[in-house]
Structure 1
Amino acid sequence: MGQSAKVVPHAKVKIDHHAKLAEEMKQRLKVEELAENIDELEEVVEDVFPILMFTVIISTAILIIFLIRMYMRYSIPNPSKNKINGKTVLITGATSGLGKATALELAKRNARVLITGREKVKVEAIARNIRKKTGNQHVNALQLDLGNLRNIREFVEEFNRTEKSLHVLINNAGYLGPKSATDDGLERTFAVNYLGHFYLTHLLTEKMIKNAPARIINVVSDAYAKGSIDFDDLALNKGYDISKAYARSKFAQVVFNLECHRRLFGACVWSFAVNPGACNTDLLRYYPGLTGNILRVISRIMYKPPEDGAETIVYCAVADGLREHSGKLFANCKVVKINEKVKDKTVARKLWCVSAQLCGFESDVPLEEEEEVKPQAAGEQQAEVKTP
């Protein structure tokens, strides 16, 4: 009995030892299995990693593009519901884009809308289309080429004979493209975007004063902040760049807008510059080469529709309480800070004098202020600009 009692503990120890060995074996197998799984996972990761990274990069790029698109398309609806029953509005470049969208909205607000374009058949078709859409039968088409000073004079002479009133002038037409000259031998971007509108506004000023309060709206671009004017090289003979030429013309428009305010505010003719933002319009149609094709694709995807861009133009045409904001720059239906360099009165006077000379009329700037522009007479400016 005593011997059998001593055998039991020894057997138990042996069993415990085997159990411990078995447990250790299981742990080793688990570690080995885990190591194999890790190796397999590393192989899978190596195979999948390029695809994963490509997916992450593409997703990030799409997100960035989406956010940029949201930013560029951001716009505020026109808060003014005013109608301008019977008021006469003249819009340049209204056969497409911003001009057409503005004309359509003002026709809905019962304005008497006069739209202009270079091609008579096209502008008449647009006028018919707007009349049909809005039911406003007071939408008429006029032919006007802002790149031809003689045509502008004849247009205004006919306008003054046939039209009794003008309450809102919207200078919208624009050109962006390769270097070329107008019929007057002027650099086209400067001539169409700025000088044609300068001359048209000058010739229509008396009619607007008679119908005061009246408004002048100059459609500009944030590109104006990058622009400047070399009065010794209006033809851009020292080097033409499409973007720089466009920025220069918009800079001139903003300077002109401020000068209109200084000259006409006392006669109750208010002027507003409007930056509609990046809009999908026909402005890029003349941009050449691969760059032009890329920009046109980007504009269709990224830029806001012209109907959204026209909101601020319409706001400045119809809203109440804007008298105190005459001369200022608007975007998204509110006043925005203007670049200080356009406030230089010396540049404004010089630009006015040179523009008057190019258009063939005498500047009304006092002689002591005009002296610095006299050395280069209008004929010399014309001769210089004739080189395309």
Structure 2
Amino acid sequence: MSFYRNAVWFMKGMQEYTKSGYEAAAKHFAPADLDVNLSGRSFMVTGANSGIGKATAQEIAKRGGTVHMICRNKGRAETAKDEIVAQSKNENVHVHIVDMSSARQVWEFAQNFSQNNKLHVLINNAGCMVNQRELTEEGLEKNFATNTLGTYILTTALIPAMKKVEDPRVITVSSGGMLTQKLNVDDLQSEKGTFDGTMTYAQNKRQQVILTERWASQHKEIHFSSMHPGWADTPAVQSSMPSFHAKMQSKLRTEAMGADTVVWLAVSAAAIKQPSGLFFQGEKPLNSANQWWLLHEC
């Protein structure tokens, strides 16, 4: 990543990704877009026990949707479920224990789920930023296994079932950090050079955006989108980027602010009026002439 690109991204972040950026963008939101009854619709949220995933699950449950929480830790998942049910008064919240870094677990879960459940909306939110190179039991670099491969396997396995329902959608929570990365398919396992967890994470998020574009072109029956939640104050940011969190804490968005665009893409009629496959920041796709170069140039 060049110094110039990094500087441009950080300045953009300070202006648009912080709490003040959210408040400025929120003036143009249409609250009526989220005034929906989701009874009868089924939503799957990965990484739903905390942070943006939990806030998203909460908003869906409040509107009557059936929520399937995909989590790795059973204790934290059950606690989060109880809180969501208590606040939403919606009992249709279900926990599934799946390690998204395990290709085998993800595939087997998706196959079993498809046989027994309907799914209208998949929200790929789970992610990790491991700052030291670490391999899973399957021999895969952990960031790639969780962020890219887990997302790919889960989505691919659920697509056939989603084509059988009305208005199916897939939303993938990416990151503005991917704007600093040119897609690199020659080092998916981060084996070359010095390992940098932040750059590996950003590369994974770039991969998610490209996957979203490819899925959209291949599966016209489903509406795909990826998005950037802004810089939000979540447990993941606190643990993975402690220095950034300490410096930026007062400027970071709340978890609910970070989930706002996810919920809009998942539930509103306005969202599917946009073309499938786009990357969103707020309710607008990031494709203006002065920004698109970040996505597609070196």
TM-score range, shorter chain: 0.7 to 0.9
Aligned to 2:247: 298
SS in 1 for 2:204: helix
8 A Cα contact 2:103 2:145, kept in partner: no
Aligned to 2:285: 335
CA deviations on 1:196-216 (whole Å, 9 max, x unpaired) are 001100000100001132000
Aligned to 1:247: 202
1:187 aligns with 2:141: yes
How many residues were matched structurally?
A: 273
CA deviations on 1:320-364 (whole Å, 9 max, x unpaired) are 1424421112122222217357569xxxxxxxxxxxxxxxxxxxx
Mapping for residues 10-89 of structure 1, pairs under 5 Å: 71-74=20-23, 75-76=25-26, 79=31, 80=33, 81-89=35-43
The structure with the largest helix share of the pair is 1
Aligned to 1:282: 235
1:325 aligns with 2:288: no
CA deviations on 1:130-166 (whole Å, 9 max, x unpaired) are 1111101101111111100111122113212331x10
1:171 aligns with 2:121: no
Distance 1:78 1:154, change over 3 A: farther
**Post-superposition offset of 1:235:** 2.0
**Post-superposition offset of 1:283:** 1.9
8 A Cα contact 1:271 1:327, kept in partner: yes
CA deviations on 1:269-299 (whole Å, 9 max, x unpaired) are 0101111111111223443xxxx43223234
Mapping for residues 150-165 of structure 1, pairs under 5 Å: 150-163=104-117, 165=118
CA deviations on 1:210-235 (whole Å, 9 max, x unpaired) are 11320000111111111234333222
Q: Distance in 1 between matches of 2:197 and 2:235?
A: 16
Distance 1:72 1:138, change over 3 A: same
Q: Distance in 2 between matches of 1:168 and 1:66?
A: 31
8 A Cα contact 2:17 2:231, kept in partner: no
8 A Cα contact 2:16 2:230, kept in partner: no
1:224 aligns with 2:178: yes
| Counterpart among 307, 310, 320 of residue 256 in structure 2 | 307
**Structure possessing the higher relative contact order (Cα contacts under 8 Å, 6 or more residues apart):** 2
1:138 aligns with 2:87: no
Question: Given residue 258 of structure 2, which amino acid in structure 1 is its aligned partner?
Answer: G
Q: Distance in 1 between matches of 2:282 and 2:56?
A: 15
Task: Let me know the Cα RMSD of the aligned residues.
Answer: 2.3
**Post-superposition offset of 1:181:** 1.4
Q: Distance in 1 between matches of 2:296 and 2:244?
A: 32
Q: After the TM superposition, which of the residue ranges 183-192 and 293-302 deviates more from structure 2?
A: 293-302
**Post-superposition offset of 1:193:** 1.1
Give me the identity figure in percent.
29
**Gaps (5+ residues) in structure 2?**
1-13
Distance 1:339 1:224, change over 3 A: farther
8 A Cα contact 2:184 2:203, kept in partner: no
**Post-superposition offset of 1:253:** 0.5
**Gaps (5+ residues) in structure 1?**
1-64, 345-388
Q: Distance in 2 between matches of 1:247 and 1:140?
A: 31
CA deviations on 1:238-286 (whole Å, 9 max, x unpaired) are 2211221011001100001111110111xx2010111111111122344
